[in-house]
Amino acid sequence: MTVLSFTLMVNQFYLTRGFRLIEGKGRMSYIVKAHRLFGYISVGFLLFHPLLEVLPRQFEGSIQPFDAFWKIITTDNSAILLGIAGWAVMLTLAVTSVLRKRLFKNYRKWRTFHGILAVVLITVVGYHVLVLGRHSSLAMKAFYAVLLAGGYVTMIKTYVFDLRREEKWKNRGLKLAEDSSSP
Protein backbone atom coordinates (compact mmCIF):
# COMPACT_ATOMS: atom_id res chain seq x y z
CA MET A 1 0.00 0.00 0.00
CA THR A 2 2.86 2.39 0.76
CA VAL A 3 4.41 1.75 -2.66
CA LEU A 4 1.13 2.69 -4.37
CA SER A 5 0.67 5.73 -2.13
CA PHE A 6 4.20 6.98 -2.75
CA THR A 7 3.74 6.55 -6.51
CA LEU A 8 0.41 8.42 -6.36
CA MET A 9 2.08 11.20 -4.39
CA VAL A 10 4.92 11.61 -6.90
CA ASN A 11 2.41 11.54 -9.75
CA GLN A 12 0.75 14.61 -8.21
CA PHE A 13 3.39 16.65 -10.04
CA TYR A 14 1.86 15.40 -13.28
CA LEU A 15 -1.68 16.40 -12.27
CA THR A 16 -0.94 20.11 -12.39
CA ARG A 17 -1.22 22.74 -15.04
CA GLY A 18 2.57 22.70 -15.29
CA PHE A 19 2.48 19.34 -17.04
CA ARG A 20 1.55 20.46 -20.55
CA LEU A 21 0.68 17.00 -21.85
CA ILE A 22 -2.29 16.76 -19.50
CA GLU A 23 -3.48 20.33 -19.91
CA GLY A 24 -5.16 19.71 -23.25
CA LYS A 25 -6.79 16.43 -22.15
CA GLY A 26 -9.60 17.85 -20.08
CA ARG A 27 -10.93 20.81 -18.20
CA MET A 28 -8.51 22.14 -15.62
CA SER A 29 -11.19 21.86 -12.93
CA TYR A 30 -11.30 18.07 -13.45
CA ILE A 31 -7.53 17.85 -13.26
CA VAL A 32 -7.53 19.85 -10.01
CA LYS A 33 -10.23 17.58 -8.56
CA ALA A 34 -8.19 14.50 -9.47
CA HIS A 35 -5.07 16.13 -7.96
CA ARG A 36 -6.97 16.80 -4.74
CA LEU A 37 -8.51 13.31 -4.57
CA PHE A 38 -5.24 11.46 -5.21
CA GLY A 39 -3.48 13.78 -2.76
CA TYR A 40 -5.94 13.01 0.03
CA ILE A 41 -5.75 9.27 -0.68
CA SER A 42 -1.96 9.07 -0.78
CA VAL A 43 -1.47 11.35 2.23
CA GLY A 44 -4.12 9.44 4.16
CA PHE A 45 -2.32 6.14 3.66
CA LEU A 46 1.17 7.55 4.15
CA LEU A 47 0.27 9.27 7.42
CA PHE A 48 -0.49 5.79 8.78
CA HIS A 49 2.76 4.33 7.40
CA PRO A 50 4.67 4.60 10.72
CA LEU A 51 1.83 2.85 12.54
CA LEU A 52 1.84 0.10 9.93
CA GLU A 53 5.57 -0.38 10.56
CA VAL A 54 5.13 -0.68 14.33
CA LEU A 55 1.75 -2.39 14.86
CA PRO A 56 2.59 -5.75 13.20
CA ARG A 57 5.37 -6.18 15.77
CA GLN A 58 2.61 -7.01 18.27
CA PHE A 59 1.94 -10.25 16.41
CA GLU A 60 5.54 -11.24 15.67
CA GLY A 61 6.55 -11.88 19.26
CA SER A 62 10.05 -10.49 18.84
CA ILE A 63 9.79 -6.83 19.80
CA GLN A 64 6.89 -4.95 21.36
CA PRO A 65 5.27 -2.09 19.36
CA PHE A 66 6.37 0.59 21.83
CA ASP A 67 9.94 -0.69 21.73
CA ALA A 68 9.84 -0.66 17.91
CA PHE A 69 8.45 2.89 17.94
CA TRP A 70 11.13 4.01 20.42
CA LYS A 71 13.85 2.44 18.29
CA ILE A 72 12.57 4.32 15.24
CA ILE A 73 12.42 7.76 16.86
CA THR A 74 15.79 7.42 18.62
CA THR A 75 17.72 6.10 15.64
CA ASP A 76 20.66 7.85 14.02
CA ASN A 77 19.89 6.38 10.58
CA SER A 78 19.59 9.39 8.25
CA ALA A 79 17.04 7.70 5.98
CA ILE A 80 14.72 6.99 8.92
CA LEU A 81 15.19 10.51 10.29
CA LEU A 82 14.33 11.92 6.87
CA GLY A 83 11.25 9.69 6.84
CA ILE A 84 10.16 11.24 10.14
CA ALA A 85 10.86 14.74 8.79
CA GLY A 86 8.97 13.87 5.60
CA TRP A 87 6.01 12.71 7.68
CA ALA A 88 5.93 16.11 9.42
CA VAL A 89 6.20 17.98 6.10
CA MET A 90 3.42 15.81 4.64
CA LEU A 91 1.19 16.57 7.61
CA THR A 92 1.90 20.29 7.13
CA LEU A 93 1.12 20.00 3.41
CA ALA A 94 -2.18 18.24 4.15
CA VAL A 95 -3.29 20.72 6.82
CA THR A 96 -2.38 23.78 4.75
CA SER A 97 -4.19 22.29 1.74
CA VAL A 98 -7.38 21.76 3.73
CA LEU A 99 -7.16 25.21 5.35
CA ARG A 100 -5.85 27.01 2.26
CA LYS A 101 -8.63 29.62 2.04
CA ARG A 102 -8.28 30.51 5.72
CA LEU A 103 -4.49 30.66 5.73
CA PHE A 104 -3.87 32.39 2.40
CA LYS A 105 -5.90 35.23 0.93
CA ASN A 106 -3.86 35.20 -2.27
CA TYR A 107 -4.07 32.04 -4.38
CA ARG A 108 -0.64 32.53 -5.97
CA LYS A 109 1.06 32.77 -2.58
CA TRP A 110 -0.62 29.57 -1.45
CA ARG A 111 0.26 27.80 -4.70
CA THR A 112 3.90 28.83 -4.35
CA PHE A 113 3.96 27.70 -0.71
CA HIS A 114 2.27 24.42 -1.68
CA GLY A 115 4.75 23.85 -4.52
CA ILE A 116 7.77 24.49 -2.31
CA LEU A 117 6.44 22.16 0.39
CA ALA A 118 5.73 19.50 -2.25
CA VAL A 119 9.28 19.67 -3.60
CA VAL A 120 10.73 19.49 -0.07
CA LEU A 121 8.43 16.57 0.75
CA ILE A 122 9.26 14.57 -2.36
CA THR A 123 12.98 15.22 -1.94
CA VAL A 124 13.02 14.07 1.68
CA VAL A 125 10.62 11.16 1.24
CA GLY A 126 12.22 10.20 -2.07
CA TYR A 127 15.56 9.73 -0.32
CA HIS A 128 13.81 7.75 2.42
CA VAL A 129 12.18 5.43 -0.13
CA LEU A 130 15.23 5.01 -2.36
CA VAL A 131 17.49 4.12 0.58
CA LEU A 132 15.10 2.10 2.77
CA GLY A 133 12.62 0.78 0.21
CA ARG A 134 12.35 -2.83 1.36
CA HIS A 135 9.73 -3.62 -1.24
CA SER A 136 11.57 -2.02 -4.15
CA SER A 137 13.89 -3.71 -6.58
CA LEU A 138 16.58 -1.80 -8.43
CA ALA A 139 14.22 -1.40 -11.41
CA MET A 140 11.50 0.04 -9.16
CA LYS A 141 13.96 2.47 -7.59
CA ALA A 142 15.03 3.58 -11.09
CA PHE A 143 11.34 4.11 -11.94
CA TYR A 144 10.94 6.26 -8.80
CA ALA A 145 14.03 8.27 -9.71
CA VAL A 146 12.67 8.96 -13.22
CA LEU A 147 9.28 9.99 -11.80
CA LEU A 148 10.97 12.29 -9.27
CA ALA A 149 13.19 13.88 -11.93
CA GLY A 150 10.18 14.48 -14.17
CA GLY A 151 8.29 16.02 -11.26
CA TYR A 152 11.15 18.41 -10.56
CA VAL A 153 11.31 19.42 -14.22
CA THR A 154 7.56 20.04 -14.24
CA MET A 155 7.79 22.28 -11.17
CA ILE A 156 10.74 24.24 -12.54
CA LYS A 157 8.99 24.74 -15.88
CA THR A 158 5.79 25.84 -14.13
CA TYR A 159 7.43 28.50 -12.03
CA VAL A 160 9.81 29.74 -14.74
CA PHE A 161 6.88 29.96 -17.15
CA ASP A 162 4.83 31.83 -14.53
CA LEU A 163 7.63 34.34 -13.98
CA ARG A 164 7.90 34.96 -17.72
CA ARG A 165 4.13 35.25 -18.10
CA GLU A 166 3.89 37.63 -15.16
CA GLU A 167 6.62 39.82 -16.64
CA LYS A 168 4.86 39.82 -20.02
CA TRP A 169 1.57 40.92 -18.45
CA LYS A 170 3.27 43.60 -16.35
CA ASN A 171 4.86 45.00 -19.50
CA ARG A 172 1.39 45.27 -20.98
CA GLY A 173 0.07 46.92 -17.81
CA LEU A 174 -2.42 44.11 -17.11
CA LYS A 175 -3.10 42.09 -13.98
CA LEU A 176 -3.21 38.29 -13.97
CA ALA A 177 -6.48 36.68 -12.93
CA GLU A 178 -4.53 34.59 -10.41
CA ASP A 179 -3.51 37.76 -8.57
CA SER A 180 -7.08 38.23 -7.37
CA SER A 181 -8.17 36.90 -4.01
CA SER A 182 -10.31 34.12 -5.49
CA PRO A 183 -8.74 30.95 -6.90
Number of domains in the chain: 1
| pLDDT in the model for residue 93 | 92
Asked whether the predicted pLDDT for residue 15 surpasses 90, the reply is no
Helical residues (DSSP H) of the chain, grouped into ranges: 2-11, 20-23, 28-47, 49-54, 57-60, 65-73, 78-98, 100-103, 107-132, 138-172
What pTM was computed for the model? 0.75
Q: What gap in Å lies between CA 61 and CA 65, rounded to an integer? A: 10
- pLDDT of 176 > 60? The answer is no
pLDDT at 45 (0 to 100): 86
The b-or-e profile of 130-157 (16+ CB within 10 A means b, else e) is beebeebeeeeeeebeebbeebeebbee
> What pLDDT, on the 0 to 100 scale, is given for residue 85?
94
pLDDT at 163: 66
Confidence of residue 13 (pLDDT cuts 50, 70, 90): confident
Going by pLDDT thresholds of 50, 70 and 90, the confidence category of residue 159 is: confident
Domain range for 77: 2-179
